[in-house]
């Protein structure tokens, strides 16, 4: 839906018009009945998934994240805690 308002109305009702634009409505601003500008919702910038979230931490390749853990990595992960009921049950 498109709404047309004159310049003075646009100045007076800017906050309301911005809410309407944000909800998907187009607003045309006119001077003496002649359209001079159109307000439409801006598309928010999308973050590149290629850029690191924390630059000080080097990126990890996707194939490394999806690779199966080695037996040594699993042992390090699981640890050898005598109080762990899961590892003590295996003994």
Does residue 35 lie within any of the structural domains?
yes
Q: What is the pTM of this model?
A: 0.48
Q: Is 27 exposed, middle or buried (0-12, 13-18, 19+ CB in 10 A)?
A: buried
Does residue 74 lie within any of the structural domains?
no
Given a cut of 90, whether residue 50 has pLDDT beyond it is no
Helices assigned H by DSSP within the chain: 7-12, 14-22, 62-66, 71-78, 85-90
Helix, strand counts (H, E) of the chain: 5, 3
Does residue 15 lie within any of the structural domains?
yes
Using one digit for the tens of pLDDT, what is the confidence trace for 9-32?
999 999 999 999 999 899 999 999
Domain span at 24: 2-39
Q: Output the pLDDT for position 12.
A: 96
Please report, for the domain that includes residue 24, its CATH number.
3.40.1620.10
Per the CB < 8 A criterion, the answer to whether 27 and 2 are in contact is yes
Q: Output the pLDDT for position 89.
A: 56
Per the CB < 8 A criterion, the answer to whether 28 and 2 are in contact is yes
């Amino acid at each position: 839906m498109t709404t047309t308002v004159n310049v003075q109305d646009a100045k007076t009702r800017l906050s309301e018009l911005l809410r309407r634009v944000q909800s998907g409505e187009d607003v045309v601003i006119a001077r003496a009945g002649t359209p001079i500008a159109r307000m439409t919702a801006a598309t928010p910038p999308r973050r590149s998934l290629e850029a690191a979230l924390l630059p000080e931490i080097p990126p990890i390749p996707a194939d490394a994240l999806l690779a199966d853990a080695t037996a040594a990595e699993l042992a390090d992960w699981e640890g050898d805690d005598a109080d762990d009921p899961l590892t003590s049950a295996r003994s």
